Amino acid sequence: MADKPGTRAVELDFDGRKRTYDVDDPNLPKWVDEKALSSGGYPYDKKMPREEYEQQLRLLQIELVKVQFWLQATRKRVMVVFEGRDAAGKGGTIHETIAYINPRYARVVALTKPTETEQGQWYYQRYVYTFPTAGEFVVYDRSWYNRAGVEPVMGFCTDAQYEKFLKETPRFEKMIVSEGIHLFKFWLNIGREMQLKRFHDRRHDPLKVWKLSSMDIAALHKWDDYTQKRDRMLQETHTHNAPWTVVRANDKRRARINVLRHILTTLDYDGKDKKAIGDVDDAILGFGPHFLK
């Protein structure tokens, strides 16, 4: 973050009203702070209490250890794809998902932009190389769905490439599932003010400042474009074989708990403790494009 404070103030349009936002200003604007949690139609007015969160998280992580043993015994494979806007909470959710799984059997895939060689290959090819082998649990911090969001919004692919992706991806994912791989696709959804708050938190936290990029700031004016691409992606690629699980993620704690509950509820592993897993919160987690309507 080499820019000087005050050099990246932007004027944003919120419901026809102009708002000034400067990520370098150490003081978070009041209009952001007051609306962050409720933004985007979030259903709760308070975060999940930390003590309750930590108690439930521990129980769920114990269940994930059972999943690890089950994968090793059965040689089954799991792929978990996390998508969402910048600062949606993908990294933290991934961390809690695999925190206590043996790293020999759990991997995080977070690919950088394609090399010149990869640009000349079949689009999905570099992702296929990362697929799980027998007994593995592989988590994706963004995925092939870059072509459904950031690439068309920021002009990194052509319209023809974008349309081809939307047409071919359901067939590609049907092949994955037909191979016997358990495929989960999560879209973590946050409101606009929450994104601004999290950008501000990153900018002023010396341990997280690396997470904020110049592209994040450049994309602030493209909220509506990202929304349109999100909605079309969910519409075109939500299928019976590979459904989208949508999570309202303004509260990271509730989001993480419900992501783990959904994974654990879906997998038929040995020794499952349904009471420990609990019930998914239907106000937080749903399926397909209609959940955000």
Percent of residues, the chain, with pLDDT higher than 70: 98
Residue 2's pLDDT band (cuts 50, 70, 90):
very low
What pLDDT is recorded for position 53? 98
Q: For residue 121, what pLDDT is reported?
A: 97
At residue 7, the pLDDT reads 55
Cα pseudo-dihedral 221, 223, 228, 231, rounded to 10: 160
The band of 214, judged by pLDDT with boundaries at 50, 70 and 90, is confident
Whether 4 has a pLDDT exceeding 70, the answer reads no
Between vectors from CA 207 to CA 205 and to CA 209, what angle results, nearest 5°?
60
Task: Report the alpha-carbon distance of residue 56 to residue 251 in Å, rounded.
Answer: 15
Residue 262 has pLDDT above 60, yes or no: yes
Buried-state track 188-212, b at ≥16 Cβ within 10 A, e below 16: bbbbbbbbbbbbbebbbeeeeeebb
For 16-38, how does the pLDDT look when each residue is reduced to its tens digit (9 = 90+)? 889 999 999 999 999 999 999 99
Fold of 9-292: Rossmann fold (3.40.50)
Write down the mean pLDDT value for the chain.
95
Angle, alpha carbons 255-260-261 (nearest 5°): 95
CA R_g for the chain: 19
Neighbours of 217 (CB within 10 A): 18
Q: Residue 252 has what pLDDT?
A: 98
pLDDT above 50 (res 6) = no
Indicate if the pLDDT at residue 279 is higher than 70. Answer: yes
Give tens-digit pLDDT for 47-77.
999 999 999 999 999 999 999 999 999 999 9
Over range 140-156, report the average pLDDT: 97
Confidence of residue 8 (pLDDT cuts 50, 70, 90): confident
Q: Lowest mean pLDDT of 6-10, 31-35, 105-109, 231-235, name the range.
A: 6-10
Give 1's pLDDT tier (boundaries 50, 70, 90): very low
What pLDDT is stored for residue 200 in this prediction? 96
Of 121, 287, 135, the residue nearest 144 (C-alpha): 121
**8 A C-beta contact, residue 229 and residue 148:** yes
Q: Quote the pLDDT of residue 66.
A: 98
